[in-house]
């Protein structure tokens, strides 16, 4: 679809947001400002509270003081966490943690998006490709995409393979079908445990339990989708050899189409 390689990122565990980083920048600009690579690391209120709770009872006023959150947010979040079995009220507005605070990890996705057919393109669920039929970016073979996934979560090779496979789901969310001629490449790596290759003798490695991988899968899917959209929005019209011209997606028409679909 386009040439640029941009980065999308998500922090997990935690509630990963929809991939609207580039779209928000696009919508905020009447002049078609280019969206920059996004690094989104949302931290939920429950995550903030869990880090400040322990097995010892803590009064709600102390929790509010430690988190610096409005009291209504503290009350609502504690109620939700109690329903999820994360905390328990032990009387007198005192609370204890029933589980240890979970670590947070970042997932980043780098894409080379020289691939795909415009007619298949979907952005935020909108069939943009069928609404914008002219100014096609390329003709002929649809080419392939390269997706590189990086994380600071402690994962072993077999787990990274599972993460890499989720990139195809993010790819599908923008409309790609990975056609017959596609040679799509997905790779994933972790920045943890890299020192074991430099050691001799017995070494120790760390890994997340498989039951803890779902947030990483979700982050991978959403970050892949956003990285592709970022590249599309950031791409500029290019003129190459022999006057060959590749058109960028028109920002004004993209905004119009998204507005028609209440996006």
In whole angstroms, what is the distance from residue 94 CA to residue 55 CA?
11
In whole angstroms, what is the distance from residue 234 CA to residue 236 CA?
7
Q: Which of 36, 144, 168, 178 is catalytic?
A: 144
Q: Which residues of 23-44 are buried (b: 16+ CB within 10 A; e: fewer)?
A: bebbeeeeeeebbebbebeeee
Q: Which of 152, 168, 178, 184 is catalytic?
A: 184
Q: Which of 36, 168, 178, 182 is catalytic?
A: 182
* DSSP-based three-state secondary structure for 34: coil
* DSSP-based three-state secondary structure for 103: coil
- Contact (Cβ atoms closer than 8 angstroms) between residue 69 and residue 110: no
Q: Outline where the chain has alpha helix (H).
A: 21-28, 45-50, 60-67, 71-83, 128-131, 157-165, 167-173, 214-234, 251-260
- Catalytic annotation on 184? yes
- Catalytic annotation on 144? yes
Q: Give the catalytic positions in this structure.
A: 144, 182, 184
């Amino acid at each position: 679809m386009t040439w640029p390689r941009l980065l999308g990122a998500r922090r997990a565990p935690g509630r990963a947001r929809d991939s609207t980083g580039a779209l928000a920048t696009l919508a905020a600009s009447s002049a078609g400002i280019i969206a920059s690579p996004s690094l989104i690391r949302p931290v939920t209120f429950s995550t903030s509270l869990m880090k400040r709770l322990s097995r010892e009872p803590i009064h709600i006023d102390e929790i509010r003081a430690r988190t610096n959150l409005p009291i209504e947010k503290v009350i609502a979040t504690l109620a939700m966490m109690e329903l999820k079995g994360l905390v328990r009220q032990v009387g007198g507005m005192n609370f204890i943690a029933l589980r240890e605070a979970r670590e947070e990890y970042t997932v980043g996705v780098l894409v080379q998006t020289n691939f795909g057919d415009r007619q298949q393109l979907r952005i935020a669920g909108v069939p943009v490709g069928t609404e914008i039929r002219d100014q096609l970016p390329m003709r002929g073979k649809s080419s392939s995409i390269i997706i590189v996934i990086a994380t600071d979560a402690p994962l072993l090779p077999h787990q990274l393979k599972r993460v890499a496979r989720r990139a195809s789901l993010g790819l599908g969310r923008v409309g790609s079908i990975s056609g017959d001629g596609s040679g799509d490449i997905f790779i994933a790596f972790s920045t943890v445990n890299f020192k074991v290759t430099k050691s001799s003798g017995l070494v120790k490695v760390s890994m997340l339990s498989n039951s803890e991988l779902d947030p990483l899968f979700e982050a991978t899917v959403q970050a892949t989708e956003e990285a592709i959209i970022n590249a599309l929005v950031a791409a500029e019209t290019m003129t190459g050899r022999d006057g060959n011209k590749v058109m960028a997606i028109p920002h004004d028409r993209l905004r119009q189409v998204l507005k028609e679909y209440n996006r």
